[in-house]
Structure 1
């Protein structure tokens, strides 16, 4: 507040001479007009007397002979601009009109982008401003700006003296005082600064200034805002605008009459102030975003600019990763109501479900399984889910867009809707399963509320609906293991420990999924690993996907015993073991089925169980710093021999 008052006082001191001269001009114009009206009325009104017409004629002559009161001479009106000047101004106006107002001009887009970057929204008024040069204002008496002084280092090959710098600074301040406080330049600069401030101080880097005061408004208003705060900067620029408008109106009124002066004052002050005031409410775009755990509609000049925030009453918790990424980027909507509708539809796709997706010579419904014709062909046909198929439709429904948001936004929203509807079909939310979604099926071109279809790849000859399946052998995921291991997926899944003393995990580090507090049940079957496998161990694991060195292992040893262990920082510790198998071969000579479970207990521990043929069973409960972020994995741990291969025929994991 103190800085603002000091700046306002200095501005008042600088404008005192111009305001005093303007007031004198205005008073002179008003007095001249009032004197003219009084003389007209005095000459016209001759009182009637009883002496008759002769006396009246004598009185009228006397009135006309009476000398008028002395009046200050009205200054001559400025001369009409020369024809060359009029021609140049006309050419400049025509060029600006063509560049900024005629979209069919080839360079319109480039010119509009450049001018709006520099002047913001005021660029669209630029064709009007040169017309002001046709109505010249009287110049204040001042010395000519010393243009030779800036050339001293180049012409005289020396630096400026103190007196020269002082003269240059004084002349520059006088020039700026006249241009800013007594000319339309001041009104234009103040308007650009006000546009920048009332439209929320947009950043220069995100394009927001192009829809406010442009680069000029940013350069003018940002230092004032940082120094005087937004309110002080608005007050100071408003004072400059009103002062310049008043001085201009007074000069015009002295030359062309007070009525014209009042009109100029109204246009010079009211139009910029009304335009800047409307800029606080109008001309913003709307974006769906997330903020403090809520989905909101943010009004701004760019996706990163904030002017006003509207809560859609949709929580961000439970939204799919792609939907959160789409909202973090900013999804453009037409307004708050449109944002409410789109946010609710994306958060709960079941409200926009459709009966059928119609493709190129095929139709699909949710719950149907399908196959390709010709392998890579895009032609699909419906097939029973208990027969060979390559995909299963999980959702068919509408995207909530009434206006085209662009292909990138449609693709991102379609992926987000498929992820959001994933849990309702498979029984486990997307992001808590290894089963990936196929690319959404979209109609060609654009239609309002387009119908899409979501699908997952086949994981066996059965339907996945409501199965809570989180992993399967046939899934299309990166199975790749860590260094020293190799994973192949021909018909079955083959894991090879290429180096001795290696622990191979599949899926490997590329699959970082871990479900906090999640429990899993796994069904597995392994082929015989060969008599030369030595001390290799095969089995499954519940590991932290973010760090595969932590979690729980279920390993079948070379003699067929099931051991339950715990990994902490890659170091194993034995928790429990089963008896030796009865009437069942070891994994070196026979295939081995295995069922394991890892799930949280009510007291915060982790319950671990493992079963196999031959009456083998092992159980354990870990309550000592248990690992609670788990995901299902296959595991092969070899001992002294390299090249050990584990072939998996069955691997299926579900949430429990």
Structure 2
């Protein structure tokens, strides 16, 4: 047989072991849903990698097979007995003259040369008495004598035993005992490096206490690795080749034939079956850690997730089989089988359980739906459960809360919490209990001593500080943390905002106040705490159902543009400090625009200042994202209502009213004004303005109308600076 044939025959056990184990792991991972079935070319590449690993481990696998056969033979108690003395018969080929003598010592080809002893004579066979006697055979051996001697592993030194046991105890104290002062730091560091395998780290030193026999090899040339430091030069070609060959041989032995290979494969598998978590977001610390990431990610990129799982399964099988064979030869087949079971079943069982267990659950959004994500961090997704809840209609804070990841207990808990946050009315409460007061939805209240203490429930048609818009339970049974409680409270208040006011949150300038939480909740958490949502007062009237989107006393910032100033004492004062200025209130800081929204605005205003005669004052509907676009209703010095369309730097007048009858202009008297802007069925915008003195102006814009609008006050100063618009009434509602 040729040299190549002998090598191929010698590699057959290793090829069979790794290829079969790789194929089995590929099928198992696909059936259990650990990873999808790779493409055909990736499957072929996976099997090629398995064959290459088998060729690298061929000698070790063959030696392990020999060890296992020897151990089995020793355990069976049966061994080949020594041959009895057999009388050779004359042979014409070796003894032509049949004299009982022949030449021949057996050579490698089976030919005998030399001389043997003569055939026994008749007297020797029959004895001196003439009676036949059989040749004397040795006494039979007992089973214990026939048992081959088992190689006894060398007992480790007491120093080695002491060091390994001490290392195991130290690691156990650091990682398993929370009372140790540096326990937290040790867990964070080791889990970052090794993931959940860090908790098994105290067991690993014990594996070194009694080392198993191994094939002889040259020690790794560690002195050669220090050449750049010791000799202050770089390696030459020969040194690099020697160092690389020795390193590959070391890795081959450690990964494919030792218990180290079991650990390496388990780390990589743990990373893969737990969804390939990222290192930076902390997810890898709950899988295979940084080590698992570095082991598995290159294989996953090359072979896909299923192929990487299959190859690491082959490595695990190789390392476990060879380690078990060594243990069986040294301590018996029972120990070998036990070692094999522990080396295969324990890692695969832990890894398999890790595919389904040990995750946290978060409420997130995906493809327009609210989902419950099982993951290792808020940004990691292992499994997704759809709550059937659309993100349409959710308030900005609730969307942000889900985008950040709201922790929940499980899928059912996530379903319940998501639906309760999206529909607060389903978790409404009878009343909110403060320290010395109770509040109910729809009640108004006042403070004493500023905002430090609630004094009494007040009438809504009288002076009051705030109005309760919702009282209900937070849907948490377990404390999600103060940050999540605050965010969820704000989200529930925003979701209930539209139910109370009649306008969804985000389509009104009226801001929500900070929700009222139960006193002492941070110090003493209790399930489903009751919160209260409220709006600040904008006048001596209730806000429920009014669809108010803007008011003179709103607490939202008015934010004027450059060249304008806004003051809010008893009345709203807008000052055009420069000539040719257009002042809008609220200004560009308030970017609210309602797509398809229509508004009705009631206001009363007057103008003062030396240049007031050249000013135009009124209200408008503008695109909050770009205040250069929109419509305005302006009263000039003659009291005429003019409607303008603004498109960038173009400001055409599109309609105007008649001059007022028996009514003064805003320069000499206050002027009431009612305007509306609302979309039409055919896609246009209908603009209408009324005032005293039988003034009316209207226009329907169908030429590229602006349909995303919000209400504003308008002061246009065409003359000198210093014109002041004093607004006594400003109230805008949705229509």
Report the TM-score, using the length of structure 1 for normalisation: 0.95
Match of 1:17 in 2: 59
CA contact (8 A) 1:541 1:552 kept: yes
Give runs of aligned pairs for residues 256-271 of structure 1, distance below 5 A: 256-271=331-346
Structure 1: gaps of 5 or more residues: 40-61
Match of 2:557 in 1: 478
Deviation string, structure 1 residues 70-91 (Cα, Å, up to 9, x no partner): 9684343223222222221222
Using the alignment, how far apart are the partners of 2:216 and 2:160 within structure 1? 23
Q: After TM superposition, give the deviation of residue 34 of structure 1 in Å.
A: 1.4
Q: Note closer, same or farther for the CA distance 1:89–1:485 as it changes in structure 2 (3 Å cut).
A: same
Give runs of aligned pairs for residues 96-175 of structure 1, distance below 5 A: 96-175=171-250
Residue 448, structure 1, aligned to residue 527, structure 2:
yes
Aligned pair partner of 2:155 in 73, 80, 93: 80
Using the alignment, how far apart are the partners of 1:452 and 1:64 within structure 2? 99
Give runs of aligned pairs for residues 629-648 of structure 1, distance below 5 A: 629-648=708-727
Using the alignment, how far apart are the partners of 2:276 and 2:681 within structure 1? 53
Find the residue that maps to 1:441 and give its secondary structure: coil
Q: Which moved further from structure 2: 256-265 or 64-73?
A: 64-73
Residue 422, structure 1, aligned to residue 497, structure 2:
yes
Find the residue that maps to 2:614 and give its secondary structure: coil
Match of 1:489 in 2: 568
Deviation string, structure 1 residues 271-326 (Cα, Å, up to 9, x no partner): 00111111111111110011111100011111111111101111110000000000
Give runs of aligned pairs for residues 41-56 of structure 1, distance below 5 A: none
CA contact (8 A) 2:680 2:686 kept: yes
Match of 1:332 in 2: 407
Using the alignment, how far apart are the partners of 1:158 and 1:290 within structure 2? 57
Larger C-alpha radius of gyration, 1 or 2?
Answer: 2
Q: After TM superposition, give the deviation of residue 391 of structure 1 in Å.
A: 0.5
Give runs of aligned pairs for residues 28-43 of structure 1, distance below 5 A: 28-36=70-78
Residue 535, structure 1, aligned to residue 649, structure 2:
no
Deviation string, structure 1 residues 314-354 (Cα, Å, up to 9, x no partner): 11100000000000000010110000000110010000000
Root mean square deviation of aligned Cα: 1.6
Using the alignment, how far apart are the partners of 2:711 and 2:63 within structure 1? 87
Aligned pair partner of 1:92 in 156, 164, 167: 167
Q: Note closer, same or farther for the CA distance 1:533–1:652 as it changes in structure 2 (3 Å cut).
A: same
Residue 215, structure 1, aligned to residue 290, structure 2:
yes
Residue 66, structure 1, aligned to residue 140, structure 2:
yes
Match of 1:225 in 2: 300
Q: After TM superposition, give the deviation of residue 145 of structure 1 in Å.
A: 1.2
Residue 6, structure 1, aligned to residue 6, structure 2:
no
Using the alignment, how far apart are the partners of 1:475 and 1:185 within structure 2? 69
Q: Which moved further from structure 2: 67-76 or 401-410?
A: 67-76
Find the residue that maps to 1:572 and give its secondary structure: coil
CA contact (8 A) 2:151 2:329 kept: no
Using the alignment, how far apart are the partners of 2:701 and 2:531 within structure 1? 46
Deviation string, structure 1 residues 448-474 (Cα, Å, up to 9, x no partner): 101000000101110000111111001
Using the alignment, how far apart are the partners of 1:98 and 1:596 within structure 2? 77
Deviation string, structure 1 residues 338-373 (Cα, Å, up to 9, x no partner): 000001100100000001101111111100011101
Give runs of aligned pairs for residues 305-454 of structure 1, distance below 5 A: 305-443=380-518, 444-445=520-521, 446-454=525-533
Find the residue that maps to 1:566 and give its secondary structure: strand
CA contact (8 A) 2:73 2:79 kept: no
Q: After TM superposition, give the deviation of residue 379 of structure 1 in Å.
A: 2.2
Find the residue that maps to 1:204 and give its secondary structure: coil
Using the alignment, how far apart are the partners of 2:188 and 2:665 within structure 1? 75
Using the alignment, how far apart are the partners of 2:142 and 2:69 within structure 1? 19
Q: After TM superposition, give the deviation of residue 135 of structure 1 in Å.
A: 2.5
Residue 600, structure 1, aligned to residue 668, structure 2:
no
Using the alignment, how far apart are the partners of 2:530 and 2:60 within structure 1? 68
Find the residue that maps to 1:379 and give its secondary structure: strand
Report the TM-score, using the length of structure 2 for normalisation: 0.85
Deviation string, structure 1 residues 129-164 (Cα, Å, up to 9, x no partner): 111112310121001111121222333343322221
Using the alignment, how far apart are the partners of 2:537 and 2:649 within structure 1? 34
Q: Which moved further from structure 2: 588-597 or 164-173?
A: 164-173
Q: Note closer, same or farther for the CA distance 1:246–1:556 as it changes in structure 2 (3 Å cut).
A: same
Using the alignment, how far apart are the partners of 1:620 and 1:552 within structure 2? 11
Q: After TM superposition, give the deviation of residue 390 of structure 1 in Å.
A: 1.0
CA contact (8 A) 1:530 1:589 kept: no
